[in-house]
Amino acid sequence: MAATTCSASPSTATARVLSVDIARGITIAFMIMVNNNGAHPWHPFTHSLWNGWTPTDLVFPCFLFLVGVSIVLAFGKRFERGVSKGRIVVGILRRTAILILLGLVVNGYPHFPWATLRFYGVLQRIALCYCCVALFYLWRRDATSKIVAIVVILAGYWILLRYVPVPGAGVPGKDIPFLDGAQNWPAWLDRHIFPGRLYTGFRDPEGFLSTFPAIATTLLGLLAGLWMRTERPRKQIALGLLAAGVALVIVGRLWGISFPLNKKLWTSSYVLFSAGTSALLVGALYWMIDVKGWRKLWTQPWIVFGTNAIFAYMLSELLASTLWIMGLRHRTEMFWTAIYAPAFAHVHPVGLGSLLYSIAFALVCWLATYPLWRKKIFLKI
């Protein structure tokens, strides 16, 4: 990761895309909160056990959606400066490699058990989606090819999960339950690619096959970025994002009747639904910030996370692992007895105590990230 500084004020430097930075900051804040949500979190702050969705299930796809938006905005500036395609490709591959390595650090810290180290992960999925979509956009900048790719990916994934027999198990919906938790194509393939290295032992929520519909999520964000780069009036851009968001949510929910929304498999209906909620968030923020000009004090807490998102996420993951390992090393529940119990465990209802803890955890990460923003240091991968 390299540090860059900006001589202009942060608000000025990011004026054209401030709404995207704010959306990214909100997403990272909630990502940190739901990953560190205490002992008794309320249902909205937990993942759905299988089919269905909670607000928590919409956080990661929102970040990928914003990756797609950011590709258009960042590449547009490079194209304007005349940066060669070769240099851009090198930058894409470099960022991809660094994100994968950072993901392995998160998975292995601090002991790095190479024999069982999980290769999949959140940062690894971000890396692969970024790489594929960025190279695709560099090759062809039109919207039509992206729409075709999205349709092919989502339809192909649906056909695979719905109609193609799972080896050793049979046809979904006939020989085995449709979207069975263990007997499905993504789980079967991951068990053969990385046996003993999966998140649950028999499947992985960031596995190989489900990365393809996640790429479709990023492509939908790229389409939103293309829309934001047009010469249309800002009000029309905001209304277009909001209208697209409503349409995607409706189509995703309707498809979800026969092809359930499922984050762990990243089903096609889930792609459309989650992209719709992401478009609604970006559209609403674009309306407030870029159309109405509401960009004063309320934006600052989010911009701190939004401009150093990967740093904040890495910090939160390593901090959480450190607290856990400190307790194991001393063979005590040190963290819970010394930190959580006196401050949060006695709060009623217990869900409120967990929520306050997750807010406090995110605040610690924010305070550690704030000096970077204050000094106009933005860590670039």
- 10 Å Cβ neighbour count for 137? 22
C-alpha closest to that of 196 among 124, 126, 114, 266: 114
- 10 Å Cβ neighbour count for 175? 11
C-alpha closest to that of 63 among 270, 309, 257: 309
> What is the per-residue pLDDT across 140-191, written as a single tens digit (0 to 9) for each?
999 999 999 999 999 999 999 999 999 999 999 999 999 999 999 999 999 9
End-to-end Cα distance, the chain: 5
| DSSP secondary structure, 141-182, as one string | --HHHHHHHHHHHHHHHHHHHHHSPBTTTB-BTTTB-TT-SS
pLDDT at 14 (0 to 100): 37
pLDDT at 68 (0 to 100): 97
- Extract long-range pairs of 158-165: CB within 8 Å, 24+ residues apart: 158/259, 158/267, 158/268, 160/185, 160/209, 161/185, 161/186, 161/259, 161/265, 161/267, 162/259
Which H helix or E strand runs over 20? helix 18-35
Pairwise CA distance, residues 129 & 131, whole Å: 5
pLDDT at 8 (0 to 100): 37
Pairwise CA distance, residues 205 & 187, whole Å: 9
Size (the chain), residues: 381
pLDDT at 331 (0 to 100): 47
Q: What is the pLDDT along the chain (381 residues), one digit of tens a residue?
A: 555 544 333 333 333 578 999 999 999 999 999 998 877 888 989 999 999 999 999 999 999 999 999 999 999 888 888 888 899 999 999 999 999 999 999 999 888 988 899 999 999 999 999 999 999 999 999 999 999 999 999 999 999 999 999 999 999 999 999 999 999 999 999 999 999 899 888 899 999 999 999 999 999 999 999 999 998 999 999 999 999 999 999 999 999 999 999 999 999 999 999 999 999 999 999 999 989 888 777 888 899 999 899 999 999 999 888 877 765 444 445 555 566 666 776 777 888 888 998 999 999 999 999 999 888 887 776
Residues in a beta bridge with 172? 176
At residue 66, what is the residue type? L
pLDDT at 328 (0 to 100): 45
Measure Cα distances from 339 to 32, 107, 312, 346 in Å: 18, 24, 21, 12
Residues in a beta bridge with 166? 170
Range of the domain at 366: 2-380
Measure Cα distances from 67 to 123, 214, 255, 371 in Å: 12, 11, 25, 24
| DSSP secondary structure, 241-294, as one string | HHHHHHHHHHHHHHHHTTS---TTTT-HHHHHHHHHHHHHHHHHHHIIIIIS--
pLDDT at 7 (0 to 100): 38
Q: Which tokens hold the place of 336?
A: 């819970």
pTM of the model: 0.91
> What is the per-residue pLDDT across 6-63, written as a single tens digit (0 to 9) for each?
433 333 333 357 899 999 999 999 999 999 887 788 898 999 999 999 999 999 999 9
pLDDT at 11 (0 to 100): 36
Q: Provide the domain count of the chain.
A: 1
pLDDT at 26 (0 to 100): 95
C-alpha closest to that of 274 among 60, 130, 98, 25: 60
Residue 313 three-state SS: helix
Return phi, psi of residue 70, to 5°: -65, -30
